[in-house]
Structure 1
Amino acid sequence: MNVNKKKLLEKILRFMARVVLEKYHPIIIGITGSVGKSSTKEAVALIVSRAYFVRKAEGNYNNEIGIPLTIIGAKSGGASIFAWGKIICKWLWMVIFPIRYPEVLVLEMGIDRPLDMEYLLSFVSVKIGVVTQISSSHIAFFGSLGNIAKEKGKLLASLPPDGFAILNSDDKNVIRMQEKTRAKTLTYGFGLDAMLRADNLLFHRDVKRVEGFSFKLNYEGKTIPVRLPKIIARHHISGALAGVAVGVALKMNLVEIAEALENFEPLPGRLRILPGKNGMTLLDDTYNASPVSTRAALETLGEFMAPRKVVILGDMLELGSDAVEEHAMLATDVVASGAQIVVTVGKHMRSLYEALLSSGFPSRQAHWFP
């Protein structure tokens, strides 16, 4: 699709989405951040669906086209004029005739260039805004972490006084955003300053099996146990805590929230355990990569008991002038994970390969492919 056609489609979809929202007035939960948006979206939808009729964004429907389609409740028409015609007919029907529309929309609001958030907020009125983390993803288009935070912070600035800003207190760039909003604030994290705090974190595993995490959830003097049997990565717990905070904002019961989280699991390609051949176990984190998410994956690998660990890593993209340094800096994390064999792929990953050799990692156990 050429640029002009894409822009026209975006304008049409924006108009259609705005009409639907004005007719049905759902509560909109908007989630943004450099990493962790998708897992947080899953946790939020899982929890809130216990009390409300919920629709969440599917797949990567987090941009100028995907968000309006989520609002309409349709999938992309792709290159088919007939498919887009069906979407328009569906939209006309729901505008003319009342339908059972979701009470809550859980939207993932992805941005990769300046003014992206501004565009999304031109037709989406968010009531509860969640910010997960700020990192160097897409820094090639923003120039600095400060500019990334500024763009994502527009979501919080748009919240109404009776709305809620849900902030990760473990990220200093996120917590500073409290100054940008008129909404009430709920913070979550592992630190003592978090309003919703996880402690007594335990990873349940032995040589043959993994049974996920458990922790104690603390909020306003109350403490309840939480089990996440399908979660193997610590950073996914942050997504679960964000989901808890949204549930609290919607006045849901903490026990009911904890029960919902027992079914929380990562999306495909986001640190899921897959069975391999001959007793091997695969940790699949192939969906995307940033320095933060790659370090989190390596930290998770370090928690596993295994006679041999193999790490296979591809390039982390859109890091701009920081690409060489960011890849090289992963060497310490790779070694700390306990990896015996490391396979790196891509032009940027050569920096990691060379850094490993310089650190004394055995050359026979490190490999690089262009």
Structure 2
Amino acid sequence: MKKIFRQYLAWVARLMIGRYSPEVIAITGSVGKTSVKEAVWTVLEGRGRIRKSEKNLNTEIGVPLTILGAKPAKSAGGWMAVALRAIGEVLTRGPRYPETLILEMAADRPGDIEYLTSIARPKIAVLTAISPAHTEFFSTIEALAEEKATILRALPEDGVAVISRDNDLAWEKRGKTKARVISFGFHEEADVRAVEADLVSDGGAPSGVVFKILYQGSAAPVHIAGVVGRGVIQAALAAAAVGLAKGMNLVGIAEALGGFDSPPGRMRIIPGIKNTTIIDDTYNASPASAQEALQALRVSGVGEGARKIAVLGDMLELGALSVESHRSIGKLAAGSGIDLLVTVGERVRDLGAAAREAGFPEDRLEHFKNADEAGRYVQEKLRQGDLVLVKASRGMHLEAVVRELMAEPLKADDLLVSGH
């Protein structure tokens, strides 16, 4: 029944695309898809009627729902109503259908991207970094890269491919398309490049990022508050490339990015109890994103007497790469200037073991089975001004740790991934 309904949704979504001919901007990659989607929305907002994927509607069900402007139902009757409304939308052409669709596309299994782009062929495709993430159903990282690169093959010759220049796996796939290619990143050869990137501090704790965007000899400064890490800058650069591909002015793009609000659980800064600062990166985790999060923690400052604490949970869906990936992050954590390392889950035991082998002190390493236990422990150990990174795959629900530590828990539904 589910298969039939999936096919029906895809059929109606194709009809909708054919009837209204919106410009499709499709985004895929191993990390940063949602942040890029939100950044593209921020840049393009106000330039016509635009619709974007909401929450995690990036699958074989979610993408058609976005095209149809529908939400997931909670019952069989609800799904029937979705089906009836969908065909009604196609049959009764209205003037308000979006001119642009910003669609996030996930690749959990081989063939996913080909299927999704057969429903909505992109005019602009964004390929973020490719790294071990959701590799359970892929034999190698190269197989995953080939799957992600399918989005480039779907482009028409007059389309635009926006590709990370910092990620070799992504960049080497540029030959998969005859469309115009715009690269982005920190790489000196990137078309849309970030320079002079730095943290903004408030009382010693991080409060945002600043950088300049370079493009064809022009430069524009950007300040994004409430978030840290290279990931948000990468997302901003990708969005800038999309804006430039659509003929926007660099200065206008930079001004728009100043209002970018990073999605919940993506390196967001949240005030904590005891005048502490929390870096909430609980939405998802892969080796690449964990490395970036630890780098952000390493370069962040703290006040006198304050410490850096990392709460790290399992990275899920890594398949055969799980042990190696967790161990690599453990070795990295040992050299990241962390004063207290707290691990949560089963797979992350490999991370803790590797950290110990790399010289991390045993008395500053604690392990817990679940987020609630870890949250209570960290809350008891907090000192004034501490900086706490909380990072794990979504399935570990480490937002419970953030909720335990945040200064205003009544705002949890608005600020944490569990409320979205």
Deviation at 1:86, TM superposition (A): 4.7
- What's the % identity of the aligned pairs? 41
| 2:261 equivalent to 1:262 | no
Kindly provide the CA deviation profile for residues 249-295 of structure 1, in whole angstroms up to 9, marking residues without a partner as x: 10011111111100112111111111221212211111111111111
Alignment RMSD, CA only?
A: 1.5
Deviates more, 1:245-254 or 1:308-317: 308-317
Letter of the structure 2 residue corresponding to residue 122 of structure 1? S
Matched residue, 2:95: 99
8 A contact 2:31–2:131 mirrored in 1? yes
- 1:26-73 residue CA offsets vs partner (Å, 9 max, x unmatched): 000000000110000001111112423211100000000000010011
User: 2:134 is matched with which residue: 138, 143, 148?
Assistant: 138
> Could you tell me which of 215, 220, 238 is aligned with 2:216?
220
1:366 Cα deviation (Å)?
0.6
- Specify the code of the residue in structure 1 equivalent to 2:208: G
The offset of 1:173, in angstroms, is 1.0
Contact 2:206 2:301 in 1 (8 A): no
Structure 2: which 5+ runs fail to align?
A: 370-420
Alpha-carbon spacing, 1:341–1:19, altered in 2? closer, same or farther (3 Å): same
Q: Secondary structure at the match of 1:312?
A: strand
Q: If the length of structure 2 is used for normalisation, what is the TM-score?
A: 0.84
* 2:334–2:356 Cα contact (<8 Å) kept: no
Alpha-carbon shift at residue 358 of structure 1 (Å) = 1.9
Once residues 298 and 108 of structure 1 are traced to their aligned partners in structure 2, the CA distance between those partners, rounded to angstroms, is 26
Residues 20 and 95 in structure 1, CA contact (< 8 A), matched pair in contact too: no
Partner of 1:285: 281
Return the letter of the residue paired with 1:164.
V
Correspondence for 2:36 among 36, 40, 51: 40
Between the aligned partners of 2:42 and 2:126, the Cα distance in structure 1 is: 15
Amino acid at match of 1:130: V
Which deviates further from its counterpart, 54-63 or 301-310? 301-310
Q: CA-to-partner distance for each residue in 1:115-153, whole Å, 9 max, x for gaps?
A: 111111221111000000110112221111111111111
User: Which residue pairs with 2:332 in the alignment?
Assistant: 333
One-letter identity of the residue aligned with 2:347: H
- Equivalent-residue separation in structure 2 for 1:40 and 1:272 (angstroms): 15
Query: After TM superposition, where is structure 1 displaced by more than 4 Å over at least 4 residues in a row?
Result: none
Letter in 2 for 1:198: A
Q: CA deviation at 1:91?
A: 4.1
What SS class does the counterpart of residue 330 from structure 1 fall into? helix
The answer as to whether partners of 1:311 and 1:343 remain within 8 angstroms in 2 is yes
Corresponding residue for 1:353? 352
1:246 and 2:245 matched? no
Partner of 1:203: 199
Partner of 2:386: none
Query: What displacement does 1:201 show?
Result: 1.3
* Paired residue secondary structure (2:31): coil
Matches within 5 A, 1:48-197: 48-82=44-78, 84-86=80-82, 88-89=84-85, 91-197=87-193
CA contact (8 A) 1:50 1:260 kept: no
The aligned amino acid for 2:364 is Q
Displacement of 1:164 after TM fit? Answer: 0.2
**Number of residue pairs matched?**
366
> Residue 230 of structure 1 contacts residue 263 of structure 1 at CA under 8 Å; is this kept in 2?
no
- Alpha-carbon separation, structure 2, partners of 1:146 and 1:124: 25
Instruction: Give yes or no for contact 1:299–1:333 (8 Å, CA) kept in 2.
Output: no
Using the TM superposition, give the Cα deviation of residue 83 of structure 1 relative to its aligned residue in structure 2, in angstroms. Answer: 5.1
Paired residue type of 1:346: G
Kindly state the Cα deviation for residue 231 of structure 1 after the two structures are TM-superposed.
2.9
Structure 1 stretches lacking a partner, 5+ long = none
**CA offset at residue 233 of structure 1?**
1.4
Residues 326 and 82 of structure 1: CA distance in aligned 2, closer, same or farther (over 3 Å): closer
